Amino acid sequence: MKPRGTFVRSGSLVLLLSAALLGCDDLISTEPPTGLVQSPDPDAFDNEHGVLELYRGVIAKFREATSGRVTNGGYIVMSGLLGDELSAGKLNTPTSGAFTATTVVDSRVMSSTDPASLQAGYEGVWRNLHGVRTRAMTTIEAMRKFGPNHPQDLIGHMYALWGMAEVMLANFFCSGIPLSTMRYDGSFQYAPGSTTEEVYEHAIAMFDSALVNTPDSVDVRNLARVGKGWALLNLGRFAEAAAAVADVPTTFTYMNYHSTATNASGVPNFTSTGSASAQHAIADMGTVADREGGTGLPYRSSGDPRTHSPLVRGAVPTSGDAEVYKPARWMVRGGDTPIIMASGVEARLIEAEAALQSGDPRWLTILNSLRTSGTFTTNPNPDNPAVEDTTWAPGEGAILFTSIGGSLPGLPPLEDPGTDEARVDLLFQERAYWLFLTGRRHADMRRLIRQYGRSQETVFPQGAYPAGPLGAYGTDVNAPAPGVELLYNPRYQGCFHRQA
């Protein structure tokens, strides 16, 4: 029995003959395959061409699980709702006060005993991220058995995506995540729950395996380094995190590629093509938030170009729907805009936090190098010639925009706010703006509680909520494991705790 849910391209596997001749970087950087369908032959993958399809299937699953199909629980959108980047509740009509799978996440009122329809949002995150794990582990096994002539870096890539999926699981869910395993023959073994720390540690081991199995691909090595640094950051091991990313160039980006021509990897969450076959868009799930619940960051009103989110749909008084705002940075190429999942900018932000933790003043220098090169020009203000405007040249962080076909103006350098608490606030705001809607913010909000002693009331949105029976935000800072895990996994006993 071969792994269920594995996909190949329609038509003959002979189509892969040319792909087999490509170098590993070509395979790693490939756009998503088109026309994926279930293979009618369970043995179709038991050869060197078939394992390439398994490999591409894992990449497609990772894209779907993270920046792809919202209806199946895209991690970026769901973590944005659970944090303060996105809001869903204000899109409910006055007569639809009952919860939905989206508003239970946005309002932070989730329970494994809720009806399945209310668990669908976070259950999709659970299912898809675990799907990345199990597909990666079975593909590694198949590649070692049937594809020994392929570049070893492809196995390294699988380990890196496996690690990324586990970091995201630990970020999003409660302590007590079972890391069950599957073999290529379809057999599997249920696992009991692992603590949040244990899941991060296991992810680090996957990143280390990625580095061992990646002799040539610079992109995969850098993905593994950033992923490892992210996991170490979440564990509060700041110096180790900085060391892990030290060799990552600031110009590095690892992208999820999407296409409006296929649903194989999902149309990105942040775009809408209007096609009946397109995945759900952010307009259907929520809107970019602004000071959500009084504690959220001012993503829209700050005027910061990194989080610029134009109005794309006005309010509809007849239905009670509110305005909808979309992030401009992910609409550069419409439905084909790549989504950056790891970058050298993130590496520098990790180094900046490690420097701040150790009292090294370079934390501010690192942040400012991302904002501007330090050069500027001055010109008279057209509205007041007596005043001069200063225009700063772009900094190293502009790569996040230029690499996807956009642009970012220079940002004025930051000044030291003078107190430890204000410095932490500034650093986390810079992380939120640079890494806007890439799945980092919710985990950072949990870290503010866990590592910096902040309270849930000062970090997560509070107060009235316009949907659901409570009429207010809850106190959840993570999601529980969905009820289906409790139902089918005899070794799983539920969350150890729901703390940050």
Domain of residue 186, residue span: 7-342+460-488
* Beta bridge partner(s), residue 313: 324
414-429 residue pLDDT tens: 999 999 999 999 999 9
Q: Among all chains, which residue has been given the structure tokens 């009235």?
A: 464
Q: How far apart are the first and last CA of the chain?
A: 40
In the chain, the number of structural domains is 1
**So what's the pLDDT on residue 30?**
46
Distance CA 375, CA 393 (A): 6
Residue 378, in any domain of the structure: no
Residue 159, in any domain of the structure: yes
Residue 88, in any domain of the structure: yes
Q: Which positions ≥6 away from 419 have C-beta within 8 Å?
A: none
Distance CA 173, CA 184 (A): 27
Distance CA 384, CA 399 (A): 33
Residue 221, in any domain of the structure: yes
Distance CA 209, CA 161 (A): 11
Residue 26, in any domain of the structure: yes
What separation in angstroms does the CA of 441 have from each of 76, 215, 459? 10, 32, 11
**So what's the pLDDT on residue 44?**
82
**So what's the pLDDT on residue 380?**
86
Q: What is the domain-level CATH number for residue 204?
A: 1.25.40.390
Residue 399, in any domain of the structure: no
Please report, as a single letter, which amino acid is at residue 146: F
Residue 231: how many CA atoms within 13 Å on its side-chain side? Answer: 30
What separation in angstroms does the CA of 216 have from each of 212, 227, 286, 343? 11, 18, 41, 19
Residue 367, in any domain of the structure: no
Distance CA 138, CA 5 (A): 12
Residue 358, in any domain of the structure: no
| Three-state helix/strand/coil letters over the chain | CCCCCCEEECCCHHHHCCHHHCCHHHHHCCCCCCCEEECCCCCCCCCHHHHHHHHHHHHHHHHHHHHCCHHHCCHHHHHHHHCCCEECHHHCCCCCCCCCCCHHHHCCCCCCCCCHHHHHHHHHHHHHHHHHHHHHHHHHHHHHHHCCCCCCHHHHHHHHHHHHHHHHHHHHECECEECCEECCCCCEECCCEECHHHHHHHHHHHHHHHHHCCCCCHHHHHHHHHHHHHHHHHCCCHHHHHHHHCCCCCCCEEEECCCCCCCCCCCCCCCCCCCCCCCCCHHHHCEECCCHHHCCCCCCCCCCHHHCCCEEECCECCCCECCEECCHHHCCCHHHCCEEEEEHHHHHHHHHHHHHHCCCCHHHHHHHHHHEEEEEEEEEECCEEEEEEEEEEECHHHHHHHCCCCCCCCCCCCCCCCCHHHHHHHHHHHHHHHCCCCCCHHHHHHHHHHCCCCCHHHHCCCCECCCCCCCECCCCCCECCCHHHHHHCCCCCCCCECCC
Distance of CA 90 to the CA centre of its chain: 24
The residue ranges of the chain whose pLDDT is under 70 are 1-42, 69-73, 89-98, 260-285, 317-321, 335
Distance CA 85, CA 456 (A): 16
